[in-house]
Structure formats: structure tokens, C-alpha cells
């Protein structure tokens, strides 16, 4: 890339770039409605714990920070739940840029800042309140601490300090997603494989890091031990249980989807450059610090390549692999041709990210509303308003309390977030997968006889939804309510049916989680 600044100014500009990007993300975060997964995690944040059905608890605690700060100020739109994650994304970018600076100087820091800012993965994923935000922040800090470890003399006080910091960052990563286990595993493999790194096993630092990470992770382990290890079991099945259908055909299709998703999230040119630089750094002649970073990237990515042979892998799942890959690309001494390709990759990625932001604010791409991933966030406030009015009318008619819910966590959490009073809602999970709502008090645990339940389910074209059919014997009366559309502007994304379940008689059908 052509130098536009002096080395003395590169670090300042790098920090300004990632800070400006974080501010832009906050603006976009205030505009785009909350996605169902985000409101699900927001509902977690109202009942803080050391673990949840689907994931470790970091995202719930992170959401609680922003929500507790902004909601008392009267800010209740999605930025309240995204403030903490956007701050975490800034920390992830800063730690990545700082690691590049340690290895390649201020000019490498500037390149890293530009790359992580323009990646579609960062432009889209680092706005949302998902476990990826604390995960990437923890991994990036861990990468920076490892770089500092490898700079320090073996057995020195500096080495022990940075090993301890690495342990804290690793424990924080464990609080974010269980797939973060590949971070310490990759470091261990790197240390074992390289003679110059094996000497690190003779100092106390690696063992202190393991102990510290375990101590940080202990609350999550204890919570799981009290809940039949539910989130561990769920994630193992979620990532490794084979999908149905022909194994070979399924594997080819899923691998194609996986690599297509990676190209879309980091841009095709930068993806190829990430692969090239990681492969080079795995060579015997590569400096030890580059070898460690390459192992972190390769091991994290390789697991999801394998997982894709068994079931569909979401494009964002291998995101931690790109943190060390960005550092490697930014600190590589590229030739003239490669620098031109890197510039082209950055321009292309920036254009893709800009398109994501434009599409998020005002749809311009010819994508069917039902297939537009951004459209999934729209229309829920209208559904909640209709459900609120239906419940109020039913309470007035029957003079009995009326509760709100859906059969899946998506409907239940969106109703909780967008309903005027943020009520306790329920996911019956009679036709959908088990989730956190199965671990909280359910309708049958808190309702009294004669209470009502307004349930939002998929529209089955006039037929009775399976969940409603199973609930029918437990209520005195049932009514098919309004059909409501989830819309973005005038475009219909999906439809939902409101059902009125009147006069609870007691009892409840068994869910899959109980069976």
C-alpha cells in the first residue's frame, strides 16, 4: 500500500479509524431494529446468571451494562442493548491493532486498523448484541497478551505478568463462547511443535495462565453442574450432530455454503490473502510469534471446516480465526503486486461493508424480503402493539390476568422487548427447539386457574398450529385472533397468527426438554 502518512502519525490515525468506526456502528445500531436473537439475549440480561441454555453468560452481562446505563436516561431503542457489544468491538479492534503494532510497528497498526474496519464481518457483526462481541474482544486481548509474552525473556517477571493476563483473557473468552477452547488448544499445539517455544514450558507462566483461566471460568462450570450440563450438551449437538440426508451430498453442500459465507464476510480477495499468510506463517522458517498466531487462526478455522461436513455452520462462527489473521496480513512485508491486491481487497471489502450499512438503513438490493437477513429485525414492534391491545381487551372481557408468549424464543423475546411494559413472556417450545425459557418459571409455574395466554405462532394457512392444538385441552376456550404481518416498509417479510387461550384449567403438555 502507498504510504500516506509518516510513521509517527500512523498509530494516532489507526486509533482514530477504529474509534470513528465504533461511533458509526453506534449510529447504525440506533437505527436498525433488534433481531430476535438480540432480544433473546436481552431477556437473559434481565435475569443475570453464570450460564444459560445456549451459551455462556458474557453477552447477557454486556447487554446489562448498556441497558442499565441508557434506559434510565429514557433511551429504550435497540442501542440500549447494543452499547456494550459495540464498546467490546472497539476493544477487539484496539487490541488487534496494538498486536500488529508490537510485531510490525506503527505502519502495520494502521494497516490492521483499516482492514478490521472495512471487513464486512466487523461492519455487520460488531454492531449486533451477540456472543461474538465479547468473544472477539477476549480473543483479541488474548492475542495481544501472547505477543507480549513472546517478547519477554523466558522466566522473567514480564513473562509471568503477560501469561497471567493471557489467562484472564482466555477465561473471559470461555465466558463468551465454548468454541473459544480452540484458542488455548492452538497455543498448546504451537508450543509443543516448535523447539524454540517448548522452552516456555519450563517457566511457570503457562501453568499460571491455565489456573487463572479456570478460576475465571469456574462460575460457568458450577452453573452447568447445577443444570445437567445443559449448555455443553446443547453446543456439542449443535456443532457436531450430523444433519439428515445423504452424507456426501450434505457435506459438499454445507462446505460450499460455509466457504461462500466466509468469502462474503471478509471479501474474496482478503480471504485468499488471509489463507496465504496463515499458510506461510505455519512454515518452519516463520518467526515463533507468527507461528503461534497462524496456529490460532488455523485450528479455529479447521474445526468449523470439519463441523460443516456434519451440519450447517453459520458464517460468523469462525470469526475468532480472523483476529490473528488480520495481524499476520498487516505485518507481512508484501511485494509490489501483493500490495496492489491488498489495496484492491480493502477497497472491495469497504464497498461491501458500505452496501451492508445502506441496505440496513434503506433496502436497495433486489433481495426478496423473506430472504433478506436484515429484514428479520423488522415488524416486531407492530406485532407487539397488536398483541398488547388484544391482551388488554381479553383481560377486560374475562376479568382475569392475561399473559403473553410464543411457541419459540424469537416471538417470546421480541414481545418482551417491544411490548409497552416489557412483561415476563413465555416460550412454550411445544413445536420449537428447547431453549432458555425451559429453564425459567413457565406459564404453568406462575399462572393461576382462569388466567389467559395470548400466543403468537407461525400462520399455518388456516390450520391450527401444533402448539395450539396441544394446549387446547388445558384451556376452557380458544379463539383464532388476528393475522399480523412482519413488514419492512410495505414489504411483507412473514406472517404470524395471534391465538387467544382463555381460562386456564391447570396442567400442561410435556415439552421435548422434559421428554
Contact 291, 282 (CB under 8 A): yes
pLDDT at 440: 97
SS3 category, 512 = coil
Buried b (16+ CB within 10 A) or exposed e, 306-324: ebbbbbebebbbbbbbbbb
pLDDT at 181: 96
H or E stretch covering 414? helix 409-418
Regarding beta strands 475-488 and 452-458, do their DSSP bridges make them parallel or antiparallel, or are they unpaired? unpaired
pLDDT tens digits, residue range 355-380?
988 888 888 888 887 788 888 899 99
CA dist 314 and 308 (Å) reads 9
- pLDDT-derived band at 500, boundaries 50, 70, 90: very high
CA dist 179 and 315 (Å) reads 14
DSSP tag of 474: G
CA dist 170 and 494 (Å) reads 41
Q: Can you read off the three cell numbers belonging to residue 288?
A: 515463533
The rounded Cα 340 to chain-centroid distance in angstroms is 33
For residue 475, what are the β-bridge partners? 504
pLDDT at 363: 82
**3-state secondary structure string, 223-291?**
HHHCCCCHHHHHHHHHHHCCCCCCHHHHHHHHHHHHHHHHHHHHCHHHHHHHHHHHHHHCCCCCCHHHH
Mean pLDDT of all residues in 223-236: 94
Q: Can you read off the three cell numbers belonging to residue 301?
A: 478455522
For residue 458, what are the β-bridge partners? 496
Q: Which range, of 303-317, 339-353, 375-389, 439-453, averages the lowest pLDDT? A: 303-317
Mean pLDDT (the chain, rounded) = 92
Mean pLDDT of all residues in 449-466: 91
Q: Which range, of 89-103, 309-323, 446-460, averages the lowest pLDDT? A: 309-323
> Which residues have C-beta within 8 Å of that of residue 505, sequence separation ≥ 6?
449, 473, 474, 475, 476
Domain ranges for the chain: 7-227+246-361, 377-504
How many alpha carbons fall within 13 Å on the CB side of residue 267?
27
Neighbours of 33 (CB within 10 A): 20
Regarding beta strands 475-488 and 425-427, do their DSSP bridges make them parallel or antiparallel, or are they unpaired? unpaired
DSSP letters for 62-75: HHHHHHHHHGGGT-
pLDDT at 350: 95
SS3 category, 458 = strand
| Cα dist from 457 to 126, 366, 469, whole Å | 30, 28, 12
Regarding beta strands 491-504 and 452-458, do their DSSP bridges make them parallel or antiparallel, or are they unpaired? antiparallel
E-only strand ranges, 416-508: 425-427, 452-458, 475-488, 491-504
CA dist 107 and 118 (Å) reads 17
Neighbours of 505 (CB within 10 A): 10
Q: Which range, of 66-75, 192-201, 450-459, 488-497, averages the lowest pLDDT? A: 66-75
Q: Which range, of 72-81, 165-174, 263-272, averages the lowest pLDDT? A: 72-81
Is the pLDDT score of 251 beyond 90? no
Q: Can you read off the three cell numbers belonging to residue 410?
A: 424469537
pLDDT tens digits, residue range 59-107?
999 999 988 888 776 666 789 899 999 999 999 999 999 999 999 999 9
Cβ-defined contacts of 75-81 (< 8 Å, 24+):
77/30, 78/29, 78/30, 78/32, 78/33, 78/34, 78/38, 78/129, 79/26, 79/29, 79/30, 81/34, 81/38, 81/39, 81/41, 81/42, 81/45, 81/129
CA dist 211 and 218 (Å) reads 10
pLDDT tens digits, residue range 281-292?
999 889 999 999
| Cα dist from 90 to 15, 100, 232, 283, 352, whole Å | 10, 15, 29, 32, 20
CA dist 349 and 273 (Å) reads 13
pLDDT at 76: 66
Question: Which region holds residue 261: left if phi is over 0, alpha if psi is between -120 and 50, else beta?
Answer: alpha
Amino acid at each position: 500500500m502507498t504510504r500516506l502518512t509518516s510513521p509517527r502519525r500512523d498509530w494516532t490515525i489507526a486509533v482514530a479509524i477504529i474509534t470513528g468506526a465504533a461511533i458509526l456502528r453506534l449510529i447504525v445500531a440506533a437505527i436498525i431494529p433488534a433481531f430476535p436473537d438480540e432480544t433473546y439475549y436481552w431477556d437473559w440480561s434481565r435475569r443475570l446468571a453464570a450460564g444459560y441454555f445456549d451459551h455462556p453468560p458474557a453477552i447477557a452481562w454486556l447487554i446489562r451494562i448498556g441497558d442499565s446505563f441508557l434506559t434510565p436516561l429514557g433511551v429504550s431503542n435497540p442501542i440500549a442493548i447494543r452499547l456494550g457489544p459495540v464498546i467490546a468491538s472497539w476493544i477487539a479492534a484496539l487490541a488487534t491493532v496494538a498486536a500488529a503494532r508490537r510485531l510490525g510497528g506503527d505502519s502495520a497498526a494502521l494497516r490492521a486498523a483499516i482492514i478490521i474496519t472495512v471487513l464486512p464481518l466487523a461492519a455487520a457483526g460488531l454492531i449486533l448484541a451477540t456472543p461474538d462481541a465479547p468473544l472477539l474482544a477476549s480473543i483479541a486481548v488474548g492475542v495481544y497478551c501472547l505477543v507480549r509474552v513472546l517478547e519477554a525473556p523466558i522466566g522473567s517477571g514480564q513473562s509471568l505478568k503477560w501469561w497471567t493476563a493471557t489467562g484472564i483473557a482466555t477465561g473471559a473468552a470461555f465466558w463468551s463462547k465454548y468454541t473459544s477452547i480452540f484458542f488455548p488448544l492452538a497455543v498448546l499445539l504451537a508450543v509443543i511443535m516448535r523447539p524454540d517455544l517448548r522452552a516456555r514450558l519450563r517457566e511457570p507462566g503457562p501453568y499460571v495462565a491455565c489456573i487463572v483461566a479456570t478460576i475465571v471460568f469456574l462460575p460457568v462450570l458450577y452453573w452447568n453442574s447445577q443444570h445437567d450440563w445443559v449448555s455443553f450438551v446443547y453446543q456439542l449437538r449443535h456443532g457436531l450432530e450430523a444433519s439428515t440426508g445423504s452424507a456426501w451430498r450434505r457435506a459438499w453442500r454445507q462446505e460450499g455454503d460455509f466457504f461462500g459465507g466466509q468469502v462474503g464476510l471478509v471479501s474474496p480477495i482478503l480471504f485468499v490473502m488471509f489463507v496465504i499468510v496463515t499458510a506461510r506463517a505455519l512454515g518452519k522458517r516463520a518467526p515463533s510469534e507468527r507461528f503461534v498466531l497462524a496456529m490460532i487462526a488455523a485450528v479455529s478455522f479447521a474445526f468449523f471446516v470439519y463441523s460443516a461436513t456434519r451440519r450447517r455452520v453459520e458464517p460468523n462462527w469462525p470469526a475468532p480465526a480472523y483476529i490473528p489473521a488480520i495481524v499476520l496480513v498487516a505485518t507481512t512485508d508484501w511485494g509490489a503486486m501483493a500490495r496492489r491486491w491488498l489495496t484492491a481487497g480493502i477497497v472491495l471489502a469497504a464497498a461491501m461493508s458500505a452496501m451492508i450499512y445502506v441496505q440496513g438503513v434503506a433496502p436497495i438490493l433486489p433481495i426478496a424480503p423473506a430472504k433478506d437477513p436484515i429484514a428479520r429485525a423488522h415488524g416486531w414492534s407492530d406485532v407487539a402493539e397488536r398483541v398488547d391491545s388484544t391482551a388488554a381487551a381479553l383481560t377486560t372481557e374475562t376479568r382475569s390476568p392475561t399473559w403473553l408468549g410464543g411457541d419459540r424464543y424469537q416471538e417470546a423475546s421480541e414481545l418482551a422487548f417491544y411490548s409497552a411494559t416489557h412483561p415476563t413472556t413465555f416460550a412454550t417450545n411445544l413445536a420449537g427447539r428447547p431453549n432458555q425459557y425451559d429453564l425459567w418459571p413457565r406459564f404453568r409455574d406462575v399462572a393461576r386457574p382462569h388466567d389467559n395466554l395470548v400466543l403468537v405462532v407461525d400462520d399455518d394457512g388456516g390450520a391450527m398450529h401444533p402448539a395450539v392444538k396441544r394446549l387446547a385441552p388445558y384451556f376452557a376456550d380458544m379463539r383464532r385472533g388476528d393475522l399480523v404481518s412482519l413488514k419492512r416498509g410495505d414489504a411483507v417479510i412473514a406472517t404470524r397468527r395471534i391465538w387467544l387461550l382463555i381460562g386456564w384449567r391447570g396442567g400442561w403438555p410435556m415439552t421435548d426438554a422434559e421428554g
